[in-house]
Structure 1
C-alpha cells in the first residue's frame, strides 16, 4: 500500500487508473525531490585580481609573438597573421619526437624543414600528386593550391600520424613558410578552426 500522500484522492478510480495515477504522482514528486539548482542561494565568488594579472600576461605574450620573433628557436620561422600560427617547430612535441626518432640517420637537425624527409614528403610533386588523387574536392583550385593543401596534409600525417576526418592541428610557421615559398599563390587562407 502506498503512503497516504500517494493514495488516490478519488474513491471511484479502478486499479488500472490507480496505477497510472500513482506513477504520475510519483514521477512529479520524484522530480521535485531531485531537482538540483546549484548556486541558488550561494553568494557570487569574490573578484580575484590574480586572474586579471594572468589574463593580462597571456594577452601580452600574444602581442609579443605577433611583434617579435623571440619565440622561434629554429631560425627559419616568419611572422604569421595570427597569434595561433606564430608557432615554431621546436614547440610542438610530435615534431620534436620525429626529429629525435630520426636523429641517428639525419644527424643533428635544428628545424623540421632541414630534415631529409621533408622534401620528399612535402615538396616532391610526384608524392603530392599521389596524395591529391582524383578527388572532386580540389576541382576549382589552382595547381599550387592543390599541392600546398596536399603538402600540409602529408606533413601532418608524417609528424603526427592520422588525426581523423575533420581534426586539424596548427602547423609551425617554418613549415608554412617553406611550403608557401615552394607553391606560391596570390592569396593564402591561414589556419581555420573546424566548424562545430
Structure 2
C-alpha cells in the first residue's frame, strides 16, 4: 500500500474509533514512542484557530534562511538552511522525530557503532545522542556517504537536535570538513 493510501486508511480507522478506543490507542503510542508524542504535543499546543506561535529562538530573519526555523551559526559554512518553506521544514516532519530524535533509534545506532565498528560508548548521554542524531540525519537525507565525505546539516535541524540533547554549557564542536578533505 502506498503512503497516501496508508495515510487515508489510518485516518479512516481513527475516525471510526470510539473515544475510549482512541484514548487507549494514544496511550499505546505514548508507551512505544513517548518522544514523538511529546514533540507533537509541544508543536500542536492548543492555539486559536489559524494562529501559529513564532518558532522558538528561530525565525531571526536570517538572509540565508527560507524556512524560518534556522538560528545563526558560528561559521559561514554552517549557515545552511534546508531550503524549504516553513510548513515543510524537515525539522517539523514526524519522521524527523522518529528517525533522528527518538531515543530508542539513537540507542540502536550507538549500539551498532559500538558493536560492528568497535567505537566506545560516550559517557555523556546527551553528547552521544546528539552525535548519533547527526549521523542519523545524514543517513536519512543523504544515504551512506563515502569515507571522508561529509555534509553540512541545515541549521534548523542542527538546532532541533541541540535543543533535544543540549550541552549543559552550550559548548558544541560544530561542523568539521574532515581530515581527508
- TM-score of the aligned structures, taking structure 2 as reference length: 0.58
Using the TM superposition, give the Cα deviation of residue 193 of structure 1 relative to its aligned residue in structure 2, in angstroms: 1.1
Secondary structure of 2:99's counterpart equals helix
Identify the match of residue 130 of structure 1 among 79, 98, 108: 108
- Per-residue deviation at 1:116? 1.6
1:117 pairs with one of 95, 111, 133: 95
Which of 63, 66, 73 aligns to 1:70? It is: 63
Structure 2 partner of 1:80: 73
Contact 2:82 2:89 in 1 (8 A): yes
1:138–1:146: 8 Å Cα contact kept in structure 2?
Answer: no
Structural RMSD (CA):
2.3
Counterpart of 2:173 in structure 1 is 189
Deviation at 1:119, TM superposition (A): 0.1
Deviation at 1:73, TM superposition (A): 0.5
Q: Structure 2 regions of 5+ residues with no counterpart?
A: 1-59
Q: What is the rounded CA distance, in whole Å, between the counterparts of 1:138 and 1:112 in structure 2?
A: 30
What is the CA-CA distance between 1:68 and the residue it aligns to?
Answer: 6.6
Question: Contact conserved, 2:61 with 2:68, CA < 8 A, in 1?
Answer: no
Query: Cα distance, 1:165 vs. partner?
Result: 2.9
Greater radius of gyration (CA)? 1
Q: In 2, distance between residues paired with 1:156 and 1:132?
A: 15
Per the alignment, do residues 81 and 75 of structure 1 end up closer, same or farther by CA in structure 2, a change over 3 Å counting? same
Task: Give 1:141 shift.
Answer: 4.1
In the alignment, the residues of structure 1 paired with residue 122 and residue 138 of structure 2 have an alpha-carbon distance, to the nearest angstrom, of: 24
Distance 2:143 2:133 in 1: 14
1:161 and 2:139 correspond = no
TM-score by length of 1: 0.54
Question: Against the structure 1 CA distance between its residues 68 and 75, is the aligned structure 2 distance closer, same or farther, given a 3 Å change threshold?
Answer: closer
Corresponding pairs, count: 115
